[in-house]
């Protein structure tokens, strides 16, 4: 089955040009929505991703209509490849059912992987340099006195969690973590 996906960013924008192009391509069903590409929650796209089966094809008018970022586009392309779905962008002349289309997406994936690896290397180098200067990183540990006071207040059952966190400066998460450790 050939599925189309169309999206505009605001309610004022019009989907007609995209829908016309998708119909001209010959899609069987169009999923469309009026929602900014920056938001992760796009119900129509999620619905489309749920119905895809091997041998299907997803068609968009332009790449930026389906993805929020290059990383998101690559994630979608990998998902399509894993399911066995071809992907077509009409305006960008991309069709992963062709050798050139697959090559394009593999190049994009390789560049993204390289970028991730470089970021990881820089992060590790920065952490090593900080350690060499005596910095250990991470959040500062809480004082044993504050933890003991918080646990005693909690055990007395006379204080609310909010009162305990205000008095000791511990967060709720930290307080509950120490409560659970004590209970074991």
The pLDDT profile of the chain, 184 residues, written as one tens digit per residue, is 999 999 988 777 889 999 999 999 999 999 999 877 667 788 999 999 999 999 999 999 988 888 877 778 888 888 998 999 999 999 888 899 999 888 887 786 677 678 778 988 998 999 899 889 988 877 777 888 999 999 999 999 999 999 999 999 999 999 999 998 887 7
Does residue 106 contact residue 116 with C-beta atoms inside 8 Å?
Answer: no
Alpha carbon 146 to its chain's center: 37
Q: State phi, psi for 24 to the nearest 5 degrees.
A: -60, -35
The domain 2-103 having CATH identifier 3.40.50.740: the answer here is no
Separation CA 93–CA 59 (nearest Å): 11
One of 9, 89, 97, 110 is an active-site residue; which one? 9
Domains of the chain, residue spans? 2-103, 144-183
**9 in active site:** yes
Neighbours of 105 (CB within 10 A): 19
Pick the closest to residue 129 from 140, 137, 118 (CA basis): 137
């Amino acid at each position: 089955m050939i599925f189309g996906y169309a999206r505009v960013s605001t309610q004022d924008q019009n989907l007609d040009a995209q829908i016309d192009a998708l119909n001209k391509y010959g899609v069987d069903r169009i999923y469309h929505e009026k929602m900014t590409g920056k938001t992760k929650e796009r119900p129509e796209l999620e619905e489309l991703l749920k119905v895809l089966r091997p041998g299907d094809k997803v068609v968009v008018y332009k790449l930026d209509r389906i993805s929020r970022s290059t990383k998101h586009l690559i994630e979608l392309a990998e998902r399509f490849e894993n399911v066995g779905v071809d992907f077509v962008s009409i305006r960008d002349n991309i069709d992963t059912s062709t050798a050139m289309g697959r090559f394009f997406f593999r190049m994009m994936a390789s560049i993204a992987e390289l970028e991730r690896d470089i970021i990881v290397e820089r992060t590790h180098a920065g952490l090593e340099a900080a350690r060499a200067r005596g910095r250990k990183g991470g959040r500062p540990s809480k004082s044993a006195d504050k933890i003991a006071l918080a646990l005693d207040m909690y055990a007395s059952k006379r204080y609310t969690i909010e009162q305990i966190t205000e008095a000791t400066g511990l967060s709720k998460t930290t307080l509950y973590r120490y409560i659970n450790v004590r209970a074991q």
